[in-house]
Amino acid sequence: MKTIGLIGGMSWESTVTYYRIINEEVKKRLGGLHSAKCLLYSVDFDEIERYQKEGDWENAGHVLGEAAASVEKAGADFIIICTNTMHKVNEDIEAKISIPVLHIADATVKQIQRTNVKTVGLLGTKYTMEQDFYKSRIESAGIQVIVPDEDEREKVNNVIFDELCLGYIQQESREYFKQVIQKLVDSGAEGIILGCTEIELLVKPDDSIVPLFDTTSIHAKESVHMALNTN
């Protein structure tokens, strides 16, 4: 079993879910008392979120790169970044280490390709929905990506940072997300990427008439696949 290096804390709410899913998946595959070999570096999200707001991706990348280097030094065999948005600085992180990074978008593409879905709606932070670092990685696999309109993107982003990252689950927000999902479906989405690791705390499979691609679960399970080197 390889050792998984987790860069988490963005937010810690979703990092808890990563840890749980990874260990549940190892137990499911190996049985008995097996659990995952992993190392977690949990950053202070306030610092990272400040860099996001300021558009200071260079410093954000430096912080996460140093975290990844520490985890590699401690014995990790590969890295997973437990957030979608901060894959924007994936190249900065890779430049600091010699071990692989399992990219969340690549894991998600792999899952989508197991279905007949060719057009997906993308929900996430405004950075993930509006910038190309994530969408282009999906689209390069021949999958069309559509996003909510500007007002909806802003409100989705606010729910993520003002509620979900703080552990607040509001029924009103769930209903709003369901409306946004339905509009994406009406615009041609055959599936929805939950492209923020906190959204799975709010939106459940029954909230959509099309498949939901929960990136937290997909990424965590793919990391176990990589750790166990199974086919």
Task: Say how far apart CA 128 and CA 133 lie, in whole Å.
Answer: 8
Question: Which residues carry out catalysis?
Answer: 83, 196
Looking at this protein, which amino acid is placed at residue 197?
T
Q: Which residue has the tokens 């029954």?
A: 206
Strands 4-8 and 78-81: parallel
Q: With contact defined as beta carbons under 8 Å apart, do 177 and 207 qualify?
A: yes
Total count of residues recorded for the chain: 231
Place of tokens 């894959």: 87
Bond preceding residue 11 cis, omega within 30 of 0: yes
What span, in angstroms and rounded, lies between the C-alpha atoms of 180 and 153?
A: 9
73 burial type by CB count under 10 A (0-12 exposed, 13-18 middle, 19+ buried): exposed
